[in-house]
Amino acid sequence: QVALVESGGGLVQAGGSLRLSCAASGRRTYAMAWFRQAPGKEREFVAVISSGGSTTSYTESMKGRFTISRDNAKNTVYLQMNSLKPEDTAVYYCAASAGWGRNRRDYDYWGQGTQVTVSS
């Protein structure tokens, strides 16, 4: 079992930045991803990083604004979000996978989510 705890969400003005963190329990390293879910919408993929940190993948619309990274010594994954827009408002979830993927079904473990609200 892996427990994931997100932090770093909050209220920010459009054009601002936030950095989300996801702390994972346990000794094994997993591919880690961020998803988000806006009110009334499906949960969507944001970004994923491999267990070693050498490979990343992003949803095209977020590439260049969002950066996923990890510090395995701290068992923590980050999502740096810049140039935020009101449409980025959502609950952001951290997820862990023993494999790799961009779909929800690829992930075995999920955090509780952290709210990001971008005001216009």
pLDDT of residue 28: 82
* Separation between Cα atoms, residue 53 and residue 11, nearest integer Å: 29
Kindly write down the DSSP assignment for every residue of 67-80, as one continuous string: EEEEETTTTEEEEE
The helix/strand/coil state of 86 is helix
| Both structure tokens of 1 | 């079992």
* Separation between Cα atoms, residue 40 and residue 64, nearest integer Å: 26
pLDDT of residue 27: 77
| Both structure tokens of 65 | 């604004």
- Each of the 120 residues of the chain gets a pLDDT tens digit; together they read 899 999 999 999 999 999 999 999 987 889 999 999 999 999 999 999 999 999 999 999 898 999 999 999 999 999 999 999 999 999 999 999 999 999 999 999 999 999 999 999
pLDDT of residue 19: 98
* Separation between Cα atoms, residue 43 and residue 38, nearest integer Å: 7
